[in-house]
């Protein structure tokens, strides 16, 4: 064999081996290419345990059931109140009573109460509290589909940062005049502060509030009424967000219960 042949053969073998390595698929590159690799697991994914009240349901099912149920009930119980000179919101509580702001009915003795289903009832103002800016209306023949809302009375004070929803009829006369049907509006936010003004306790919220929301309920995540929407602060006439205030019902539970206990308008025998 010529002396030059072995080195040539060795070079040819090296070139062939190099070509094979380059052409071979790279396992690590294949694994690192998500568009081309799909992993399917046949094992069920772990999930959080559902609340005790919804044992047997998944967490998402429990949340959807709670949301749909509470929203439907609340919507039926939030009413639009009109007098000869003013309008606002209110909500149904036990005993055929409706709670609203005093500045909604002012000194009127009678008011019209509209329900979301279109039913209208004549109501009598039976109790007032000027300090708390509250009024209670007696509304006979409340529609059977309406269930009274639950007022929060005891327990720990509403926590800052907790969820809250404001219900009512903002600019409802204008909305109806524009051809829309009558319906309560809901806006979501949080409790951003607890404040006191002239001895009255308020919950501050960033849930959207507009003229017409006065007297409507402020609810917590459990659907309990924690406040009555009362005012929006606009310092110096400037637009401001999040300066919306509702009477803190938990702080004034005894006064509110006393108003609800009144059986007939003051001055009647």
Predicted local confidence at residue 266, as pLDDT: 56
Per the structure, the complete domain to which residue 225 belongs is given by 163-256
Instruction: Please check whether residue 154 lies inside any domain of the structure.
Output: no
Is residue 251 located within the same domain as residue 170? yes
Taking residues 37-41, report their average pLDDT. 28
- Number of structural domains the chain divides into: 2
Specify the long-range contacts of residues 250-253, CB closer than 8 Å, at least 24 apart. Answer: 250/152, 250/153, 250/154, 250/155, 250/157, 250/158, 250/226, 251/157, 251/201, 252/132, 252/200, 252/201, 253/151, 253/152, 253/153, 253/154
Residues that are catalytic: 103, 133, 214
Pairwise CA distance, residues 149 & 76, whole Å: 10
138-186 tens-digit pLDDT: 999 999 999 999 998 777 788 898 999 999 999 998 898 899 988 999 9
90, 115, 147 — which closes off a domain? Answer: 147
Specify the higher pLDDT residue, 200 or 53: 200
In this structure, is residue 7 part of a structural domain?
no
Residue 6 lies in a domain: no
Question: Looking at the predicted structure, is the pLDDT value of residue 252 above 70?
Answer: yes
Q: Where are the alpha helices (DSSP H) in the chain?
A: 5-23, 27-31, 59-77, 102-105, 172-177, 253-260
Last residue of a domain, one of 122, 147, 172: 147
């Amino acid at each position: 064999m010529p002396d030059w042949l072995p080195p040539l053969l060795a070079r040819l073998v090296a070139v062939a081996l190099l070509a094979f390595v380059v052409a071979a698929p790279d396992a690590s590159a294949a694994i690192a290419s998500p568009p081309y690799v799909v992993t399917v697991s046949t094992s069920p994914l772990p999930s959080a345990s559902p609340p005790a009240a919804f044992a047997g349901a998944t967490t998402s099912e429990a949340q959807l059931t709670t949301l749909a149920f509470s929203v439907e009930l609340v919507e039926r119980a939030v009413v639009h109140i009109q007098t000869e000179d003013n309008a606002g919101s209110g909500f149904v509580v036990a005993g055929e009573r409706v709670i609203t702001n005093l500045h909604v009915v002012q000194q009127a003795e009678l008011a019209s109460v509209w329900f979301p289903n279109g039913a209208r009832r004549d109501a009598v103002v039976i109790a007032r509290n000027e300090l708390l800016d509250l009024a209670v209306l007696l509304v006979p023949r409340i529609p059977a589909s309406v269930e009274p809302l639950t007022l929060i009375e005891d327990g720990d004070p509403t926590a800052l940062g907790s969820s809250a929803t404001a219900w009512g009829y903002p600019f409802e006369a204008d909305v109806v005049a524009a051809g829309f049907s009558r319906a309560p509006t809901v806006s979501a936010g949080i409790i951003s502060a607890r404040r006191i003004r002239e001895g009255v306790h308020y919950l501050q919220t960033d849930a959207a509030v507009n003229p017409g929301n006065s007297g409507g309920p402020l609810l917590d995540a459990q659907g309990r009424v924690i406040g009555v929407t009362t005012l929006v602060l606009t310092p110096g006439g400037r637009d401001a967000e999040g300066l919306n205030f509702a009477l803190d019902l938990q702080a004034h539970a005894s006064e509110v219960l006393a108003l609800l206990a009144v059986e007939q308008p003051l001055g009647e025998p």
